[in-house]
Structures are given as C-alpha cells and as structure tokens.
Amino acid sequence: MTYEEIRKHPEVCALLKRGNDNLGVLGYTEHSQAHCALVAERAAYILRRTGHTEHEEELAKIAGFMHDIGNAINRTHHAEIGAILANDILKEAGMDMTDRITVIAAIGNHDESTGGAKDAISAALILADKTDVRRNRVRTDDQSTFDIHDRVNYAVTGSTLKVNEEKDIISLNLQVDESICTMYEYFDIFLTRMIMCRASAEFLGYKFRLTVNGGKVL
C-alpha cells in the first residue's frame, strides 16, 4: 500500500469527506483532503530534511493523509478512532504489520489532548498538522460569523514551515494581520499545539521556533 494508492482509496476519501462535513456542522475550520494532503507532504519534508529514510517519508505521508479519518465518527477521540479505522483499512490492503503499527500509532498520537511524539513518524505528523494555520482553512469570508478559531486562521495571510539543518531549527513563520486577530487570541488557541510542536521537534533533535511578522515569538 503506497501513499498514492491511499490518496485514491475510496473508503479513506469517503471518511475524510464525511469527517470534514461533520466538522463543518460543528463550526470547525476545513479538515478536508486538501488539509490532509498538505500534512502528508509536510511530514515527509520534515523527515527528509532531518535525515530520515524514504521509507519513513512514505509512512509519514500515509499517516498524514489518513490522520483525520476518525472525524467521520466523532470529533472526541478522533485520533484514536482514526487509528482503529486505519488499522482495518491497511490490514485489508496487505500492509506489513510493523509498518501498519507505525502508521496507526502516529495517527493515534497526533491530537494534543491525548497524544505526543513517540517516534520520528509521529513527531513529523504532529509538526505538520499543528502548523497548518492559514486563511483558506476558514469556510466563509463573512467575518461577522467568525468565532476565535476563524479569526485566528483568517488573520494568517502567509505561512511557511522551514527546516534548517545547519542550526537544527524547525521554524513556523507566519504573517498575521493583527487588526483581525491579536497575538493573545492566537496563543489562546494555539499555545498547547505550539508546545506539542516544540516537544516533537526536540524528539527529532531540533529546536522549534515560531516567528510572527518577522519577529521571534517562541
């Protein structure tokens, strides 16, 4: 089972669509295949730049694309639910048991409320997922309807994640329109996630840095 096969897998795609629809009803930002594909590619990039193998990159991409399938069932404990769903899908597809366990462990540990980095794959997935903050994750342009999650994401007009191997730093660099969202609001939503990113970067032997509008914040 390859990443490209997972991206086209009808059950995975159906679960992601239903999960994104469910979260839309609950007022969450976009958690679609676009988000999951970005997370997959970003996780692979992190592993590539931190000296890991192509096989590990492939596992990270599979975990990244599947990481939100649990939202189709329930937002609460969606990481653990997603791991169980992924295990069944990957087992039926014939994935090697060791690889399958690695993928489902990463999925099961990506949520900040219950998870944390346990290996390189899970660390990369966490970093890739928690740093995906951007304006086009907001489902509407009507700012009168925004809650704090919408305001924070909508305020981000630019976002890049970079790995500096020479300085051993993984940095999230944001451009934020502070007329839409204050930094207090940003950290009200994202502090726990940024702390999780710091721990994940440290697991990989790197430091995590957050810069906003050119200035170091974390």
What domains lie within the chain, and their CATH numbers?
Answer: 3-216 (1.10.3210.10)
- What pLDDT does 196 receive? 97
Strand order in the sheet with 156-164: 156-164, 169-176, 207-212, 215-216
How confident is residue 28, by pLDDT bands cut at 50, 70 and 90?
A: very high
Give CA–CA dist 217/38, Å, rounded: 24
How confident is residue 150, by pLDDT bands cut at 50, 70 and 90?
A: very high
In this prediction the pTM is 0.96
Two structure tokens written together for 117: 């980095």
Work out whether strand 215-216 and strand 156-164 pair parallel, antiparallel, or are unpaired.
unpaired
How confident is residue 52, by pLDDT bands cut at 50, 70 and 90?
A: very high
Give the dihedral sign, CA 23/218/204/173. positive
- What pLDDT does 102 receive? 98
Give CA–CA dist 196/117, Å, rounded: 8
Give CA–CA dist 49/216, Å, rounded: 22
- What pLDDT does 218 receive? 81
- What pLDDT does 110 receive? 98
Two structure tokens written together for 154: 């909508």
Two structure tokens written together for 61: 């991409």
In the predicted structure, residue 109 carries a pLDDT above the cut 90 = yes
Bridge partner list, 212: 174, 215
User: What average pLDDT does this structure show over 187-210?
Assistant: 96
In the predicted structure, residue 117 carries a pLDDT above the cut 90 = yes
Type of residue at 37 = A
- What pLDDT does 142 receive? 94
CA-based angle 148:200:13, to the nearest 5?
65
Collapsing DSSP to helix, strand or coil, 158 comes out as strand
Bridge partner list, 159: 174
Residues of the chain with pLDDT > 70: what percent? 100
> What's the whole-number average pLDDT of the chain?
97
Are the CB atoms for 59 and 102 separated by under 8 Å? yes
Give CA–CA dist 72/133, Å, rounded: 22
Are the CB atoms for 109 and 199 separated by under 8 Å? no
User: What average pLDDT does this structure show over 76-81?
Assistant: 98
Give Cα separations from 77 to 12, 43, 69, 81, 155 (angstroms): 18, 22, 11, 6, 28
